[in-house]
Every structure is written in structure tokens, then in C-alpha cells.
């Protein structure tokens, strides 16, 4: 059995990443979505092991000591991190793993595992991203401007990613991510052993 690979999928707020990921995972038993560990309290309806692995601060600090995270960060007083264990188990089972993380996390993962493939989801244009953020109706004009500025910064760093998927239509974005995953399994390092 071929071992799975890990793929990071990043993208600015409002680019439609959640919709793309939902479509990507439809009917795909062979894909594993990495669930983060966090020290924050579960919210109403959140299930341990489904939305997050909820752990306490002592355990989180111990895991940092044990180098048990692929990446972690502190955000408004809580820790969030990607446990290595579940990622490695899924890959051993031949499953490809998707990490839904942002640029800083991607940098941390890459320093530990340079072989991880990084995909950046971008909007077809700035106008499209702005329209989408306005259309959601959840953010104030001020907040939308802040998100756009942050998206520009993220995009300036996106050339450090291996691939660049434009979310023009969800179908095309999913098709491209699937193509990238299949192509990455055609790298000689994966296949040279087949003819020994």
C-alpha cells in the first residue's frame, strides 16, 4: 500500500475555503481532515474529537515539550495546535491528510516536514473577494477593509506555496486540488521502488 501524503490548504478569509473543503471531502473515505487540539472551552454543540480535540493547558504544554505538534499557536489566550499522531496514523493507513491552516502554521509545518505540499486558495480577483466579504453580511465595513489588507499580505507570501488554486468556481477548485494530490503521488520518490 502506498503511504499517504500531507497537504496544507490555506487561503484568506472570505475566499470560500470551507465550501471547497466540504466538496473535496464528499465521498472521499481515503482523505483525512486533521482535527486541531485546543485549550479553549467547547462551545455549544461542539464535540470532542470532531470539531476539536479539547485538552487542558498542562497537557498542551506537555505535548509542546514532547514535540507532539506539527505546528501550534496561541490566540486570544488559548492554544491551538496540529497533533502529529493522527496525521501520521492516517498516512500510515494510506490516507492523504488535509491541514486547514494559515501561513504561520504552514511555515512551522514546512520547517519540520519539507515534503508537505502547500496549496494556497486565492480569489479570482480583489473585487470578487471584497464582494464576497460584503455579501456574507457578517462584517462591518471597517472589518472588511482589515480582512482585505490581511488577504493582500497573505497573498504576497503565497508564492512560497507549491500550488495556487483560484476559487472561481468550487467545481474547478476541487478539480485542481484533486489533480494536485494525484500528481504529487506521481513523483519519482513515491514510485521508484515499484520496479525493484
Residues at the interface with its own copies (CB under 8 A): 119-120, 122-126, 155, 158-159, 161-166, 175-176, 178-180, 182-184, 186-192, 194-195
Q: Which CB sits closer to its own copies, 141 or 192? A: 192
**Nearest partner of 65 among 76, 77, 57, judged by Cα:** 57
Q: How far is the CB of 194 from its own copies (least distance, A)?
A: 6
- Minimum distance from residue 91 beta carbon to its own copies (Å): 20
DSSP run (H or E) holding 98 = strand 96-99
Residue that the C-alpha cell 500531507 belongs to = 6
Rounded to an integer, what distance in angstroms lies between the CA atom of residue 124 and that of residue 39?
Answer: 36
Which stretches within the chain are classed as H helix? 17-25, 57-65, 84-92, 103-112, 126-136, 141-156, 170-184, 188-191
- Nearer to its own copies by Cβ, of 61 and 131: the residue is 131
Smallest gap, in angstroms, from Cβ of residue 20 to its own copies? Answer: 13
Question: Smallest distance from the beta carbon of 178 to its own copies, in angstroms?
Answer: 7
Cell of 179: 489533480
Considering beta carbons, is residue 79 or 161 the nearer one to its own copies?
Answer: 161
By beta-carbon proximity to its own copies, the closer residue of 1 and 186 is 186
Amino acid at each position: 500500500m502506498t503511504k499517504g501524503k500531507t497537504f496544507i490548504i490555506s487561503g484568506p478569509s472570505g475566499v470560500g475555503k470551507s465550501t471547497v473543503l466540504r466538496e473535496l471531502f464528499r465521498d472521499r473515505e481515503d482523505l483525512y481532515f486533521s482535527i486541531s487540539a485546543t485549550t479553549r472551552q467547547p462551545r455549544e454543540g461542539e464535540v470532542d474529537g470532531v470539531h476539536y480535540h479539547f485538552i487542558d493547558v498542562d497537557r498542551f504544554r506537555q505535548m509542546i515539550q514532547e514535540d507532539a505538534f506539527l505546528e501550534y499557536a496561541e490566540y486570544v489566550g488559548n492554544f491551538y495546535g496540529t497533533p502529529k499522531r493522527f496525521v501520521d496514523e492516517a498516512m500510515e493507513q494510506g490516507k492523504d491528510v488535509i491541514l486547514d491552516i494559515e501561513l504561520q502554521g504552514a511555515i512551522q509545518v514546512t520547517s519540520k516536514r519539507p515534503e508537505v505540499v502547500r496549496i494556497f486558495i486565492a480569489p479570482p480577483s480583489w473585487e470578487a473577494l471584497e464582494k464576497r466579504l460584503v455579501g456574507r453580511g457578517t462584517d462591518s465595513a471597517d472589518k472588511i477593509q482589515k480582512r482585505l489588507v490581511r488577504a493582500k499580505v497573505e497573498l504576497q507570501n503565497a508564492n512560497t506555496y507549491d500550488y495556487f488554486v483560484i476559487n472561481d468556481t468550487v467545481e474547478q477548485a476541487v478539480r485542481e486540488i484533486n489533480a494536485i494530490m494525484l500528481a504529487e503521488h506521481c513523483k519519482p520518490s513515491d514510485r521508484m521502488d515499484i520496479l525493484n
